[in-house]
Amino acid sequence: MPRTSNPQIRVVLDHQSLLAEGPVWDTRQSLICWIDILNGEIHQYEPAQKTHTTIQVNQMIGSLALCRTDQRFVAAVKDGFCFVDRQSGAVSMIANPEAALPNNRFNEGKCDPAGRFWAGTMSLTEEPKAGSLYMLNSDLAVVRKINQVSISNGLAWSMDHRIMYYIDTPTGKVMAYPFDKQTGLIGTGKIILTIPEEEGYPDGMTIDSEGMLWIAHWGGWQVTRWNPHTSELMQHLQLPVANVTSCTFGGRNLTDLYITTAKKGLSEIELQEQPLAGSLFVLPDCGITGVPAFDFDA
């Protein structure tokens, strides 16, 4: 049944995605970007002017990041890594590390502190351990970093850039990997958080300026804030929809928490109970400051 949501959380605009994901705040243009995975759409919304634009990439899209030097996105789509021109919508493919796996697609991705783009894959039928996590270098070489992943999801890097946090959703766990910023090498991961199944499954993730992790809960009606050093649950934000997919900080001072959600997988009755499913939400001036997203170094 629907749960009582935080009254300060509001819907950003009158648009609902089938599977919204991957929110990224563009600090240069003061707009929020996100995707609708299954509809193959990139959305951009400028809050001050209330302008909403959509780019159709004509295939499923799993994630994106901003490029540091020009008006392009780097993205992970069904057919691999690509650039997307933000003005024309033109898609320029880079590489497809899973060309031999047509039943896989890319999912969540994010740039690391050195400007490399990381994105993982999953089976279209959610077959266990069919995916991998890849890293796209600035020279456009692709390296596989983790294999036997089921649903590659949330990524974040610690404030000192020495730890990479990672979520493989069905495990219900958040992993911490030693991370070398200079080389992109990761060490052996360890479990730092386990989400109880009754709270939903950990999905997308971001980090704030205090080094705390914010995790979206698929099927859990909430976003939670955790201390990755002590595994302490510090805060939870209730939403009016079950499938919460990801979150990021935006706004002028990076104090607005943007939250993506989905209506995929909901029955007709559930859709009636959750009329806002698939919306982009925001908690304005949430009392915590985020950190700017890293751009792709190209």
What is the mean pLDDT, run by run of 10 residues, along the chain of 298 residues? 72 98 97 98 97 97 96 96 96 98 97 98 97 97 98 98 98 98 98 97 98 98 98 96 98 97 96 98 97 95
* Per-residue pLDDT, 107: 97
Does residue 143 lie in a domain region? yes
Distance of CA 262 to CAs 36, 169, 229, 296, Å?
9, 15, 30, 27
Query: Are residues 64 and 22 in contact, defined by beta-carbon separation less than 8 angstroms?
Result: yes
Other residues' Cβ atoms within 10 Å of the Cβ of residue 270: 16
Which of 144, 153, 146 lies closest to 171, judged by CA? 153
* Per-residue pLDDT, 4: 57
Does residue 183 lie in a domain region? yes
* Per-residue pLDDT, 1: 44
Does residue 79 lie in a domain region? yes
The two tokens of residue 221 are: 């009606």
* Per-residue pLDDT, 89: 94
Residues paired with residue 290 on neighbouring β-strands, in sequence order:
208
Residues paired with residue 238 on neighbouring β-strands, in sequence order:
222
* Per-residue pLDDT, 33: 98
Per-residue H/E/C for 77-122: ECCEEEEEECCCCCEEEEECCCCCCCCEEEEEEEECCCCCEEEEEE
Does residue 5 lie in a domain region? no
* Per-residue pLDDT, 132: 98
Does residue 295 lie in a domain region? no
CATH number at residue 164: 2.120.10.30
Tally of structural domains, the chain: 1
* Per-residue pLDDT, 111: 98
Query: Are residues 138 and 116 in contact, defined by beta-carbon separation less than 8 angstroms?
Result: yes
Q: Based on the number of CB atoms within 10 Å of its own CB, is 274 exposed (0-12), middle (13-18) or buried (19 or more)?
A: buried
Does residue 288 lie in a domain region? no
SS3 62: strand
Range of the domain at 214: 10-283
Does residue 255 lie in a domain region? yes
Does residue 241 lie in a domain region? yes
